Structure 1
Amino acid sequence: SSPAARSKSMVMGEASRGSPSLQEGVLKAGWLKKQRSIMKNWQLRWFVLRADHLYFYKDEEETKPQGCISLKGSQVNELTANPEEPGRQLFEIVPAGEKDKAAMSHESFLLMANSQSDMDDWVKAIRRVIWAPFGGGIFGQRLEDTVQYERKFGPRLAPLLVEQCVDFIREQGLDEEGLFRMPGQANLVKELQEAFDCGDKPQFDSNTDVHTVASLLKLYLRELPEPVVPFCNWQWEDSWEAIRSTWASPNRLQISWMV
């Protein structure tokens, strides 16, 4: 079958043993179109995200990459869709601002995903790589990794985002009708998510909509690789306390904080 007809995300069981998708340390892999720098036409390539580099191959069976994009000192931006060209989900990887010029190692790259959800997944994965060293990329990051990084700023019972959201909801929203059921402002939720993912620590004020904060908290919990209650404890054969005592400290503390 043609590359376009195959899965757009990495399926470990379907890749060959020699496939770069099976190599150690792969964070994400899948098909993307890359715009050539001179001819400006599009090439379908198999992309593999590993460490802080994005490699691209002619196909998923190749073991030698055609090229490599260094993500250090970069940023990734979603581009506004052109209504006259439906189906073109574009994003770019570009050098970051002036403050990061010393780390700049490449020109800009324009990439096209197969769908909006596919582009969202790629952008989140790449941002996580770029911003994780600076305390960002927390959406979709392991709870243990977030807590371990934030410990350098002092002891906490849960990630800063969770503490901020829970404190705000307790102060502003306990009497709010439809809390955790009514959606918040989608654009503001996205802005706050991107701010936290970029390592910023945005503050909520009295004008912030409590449903937006609740939606942000739900989004964070939904995107954790594993639920706060670990998969291994989904069989409720023992008492609650016995199960909770087996959890890693970050999971146990976050549940205690939220309850």
Structure 2
Amino acid sequence: RSKSMVMGELTRGSSRPSSPSLQERAVKAGWLKKQRSIMKNWQLRWFVLRTDQLYFYKDEEETKPQGCIPLHGCQVNELTANPDEPGRHLFEIVPGTGEKDRSALSHEAFLLMANSQNDMEDWVKAIRRVIWAPFGGIFGQHLEDTVQYERKFGPRLAPLLVEQCVDFIREQGLKEEGLFRMPGQANLVKELQDAFDCGDKPLFDNTDVHTVASLLKLYLRELPEPVIPFNKYEDFLTCAQLLLKDEEVGLSELAQQVKTLPQANYNLLKYICFLDEVQSHSSENKMSVQNLATVFGPNILRPKMEDPVTMME
């Protein structure tokens, strides 16, 4: 039997884990191959990620899982591609790294294969978020949840990542040409993202400013809702139209709307208004108000359902 079946026995007390509750929303689902621990051959199975469990089924129609991998306390690692075996996009889940799990579970890894590099990266990212969300995973998490979690580390206006990025840019890069427009080092951005998602607080000692700027943009882009919530979109769009007709009236209405934002959103908007400092150096960094609006506009204000007309507005 597969190692994952044994895992199901250890955690559920039976040879076949019970069906997950219908209330447990699937975080991710798709086909993966899993390696059987004894035969070392591969089985194609339908995997469903729910809360902190990764269930696998014979096919999409099955309601009773064949087994599950409990993810609490696990680590997930991408495996380096073997040039002699192209097309094998492997990652592993290493169980029992938490203190509570060490006596009960083997440390033998669960080896899984995705059908593409992108698919593997998506699975690794989704599983890491599930594992680390209770410990401070923030990319793709609701702003309020992140703020609530980080309160235990002391009061702050914005999520720690935002503060850290803004402070670094203030010190190192306000005059950097192409700030927020030039891309950072993609591999380093991903490393920093994974570190923050895993509860680490990496330092930016030897990091270039474009990489830190890209990390900040990525965080804002991956928020489930933009800085101004979807339900306030129409109100703020009306303010924009008022500003064109009568600036004084428009500014007054805008001030009123800003005050109605949820506290976490208000604080984040207030913090990223450091962009005013960025545009004050536009003669050097070439980032005017218009350029900054192009880069940050969709992360600050966008409708839930986008179409060409609303995008132009």
Normalising by structure 1, report the TM-score.
Answer: 0.84
Trace 1:171-250 onto structure 2 (pairs within 5 A).
171-205=171-205, 207-235=206-234, 236-238=237-239, 239-250=253-264
Q: Tell me how far 1:211 sits from its aligned partner.
A: 0.9
The structural deviation recorded for 1:54 is 0.6
Within 2, Cα distance between the matches of 1:77 and 1:250?
A: 33
Q: Quote how far apart the aligned CAs of 1:60 are.
A: 1.5
- Listed as ranges, the gaps of 5+ residues in structure 2 are 1-18, 240-252, 274-313
- Give the corresponding residue for 2:285: none
Residue number in structure 2 paired with 1:51: 51
* Structure 2 contact 35–41 (Cα < 8 Å) conserved: yes
The alignment of Structure 1 onto Structure 2 pairs a total of residues equal to 237
Matched, 1:254 2:248: no
Cα deviation, 1:180-205, whole Å, max 9, x if unaligned, reads 11122223222211211111111223
When the two chains are superposed, the root-mean-square deviation of aligned CA atoms in Å is 2.1
**Does the 8 Å contact 2:33/2:43 carry over to 1?**
yes
- Shift of the 141–57 alpha-carbon distance from structure 1 to 2, 3 Å rule, reads same
| Partner residue, 1:116 | 117
Deviation string, structure 1 residues 51-76 (Cα, Å, up to 9, x no partner): 21111111111111000101112100
Higher normalized helix content (fraction of residues): 2
Structure 1 or 2, whichever has the larger Rg, is 2
Change (3 A) 1:20 1:113: farther
Measure the CA separation in 2 of the matches of 1:87 and 1:143. 37
- CA gap of 1:96–1:183, structure 2 versus 1, over 3 A, is farther
Q: Residue 63 of structure 2 aligns with which residue?
A: 63
> Residues 24 and 71 of structure 1: is their aligned pair in 2 closer, same or farther, counting only changes over 3 Å?
closer
Deviates more, 1:215-224 or 1:229-238: 229-238
Give 3-state SS (helix, strand or coil) of 1:234's partner. Answer: helix
Taking a change above 3 Å as real, the CA distance of residues 189 and 62 of structure 1, as seen in their structure-2 partners, is same
CA distance in 1, matches of 2:42, 2:165: 43
How far apart, CA to CA, are the structure 2 residues paired with 1:81 and 1:222?
Answer: 29
Give the CA deviation at 1:96: 5.7
Structure 1 residue 49, shift from structure 2 partner: 1.1
The residue identity in structure 2 corresponding to 1:249 is Q
Deviation, structure 1 residue 23: 4.8
CA contact (8 A) 2:52 2:131 kept: yes
Cα contact 2:24–2:51 (8 A) shared by 1:
no
Work out the percentage of aligned pairs sharing the same amino acid: 78
Query: How much does 1:145 deviate?
Result: 0.9
Q: Is the 8 A contact 1:20 1:48 kept in 2?
A: no
- Partner Cα separation in structure 1 for residue 257 and residue 22 of structure 2: 34
Q: Would the aligned equivalents of 2:28 and 2:49 in 1 still touch at CA under 8 Å?
A: yes
Deviation of 1:171 (Å)? 1.3
Corresponding residue for 1:78?
78
Structure 1 gaps, min length 5: 1-18
What's the secondary structure of 2:32's corresponding residue?
Answer: strand
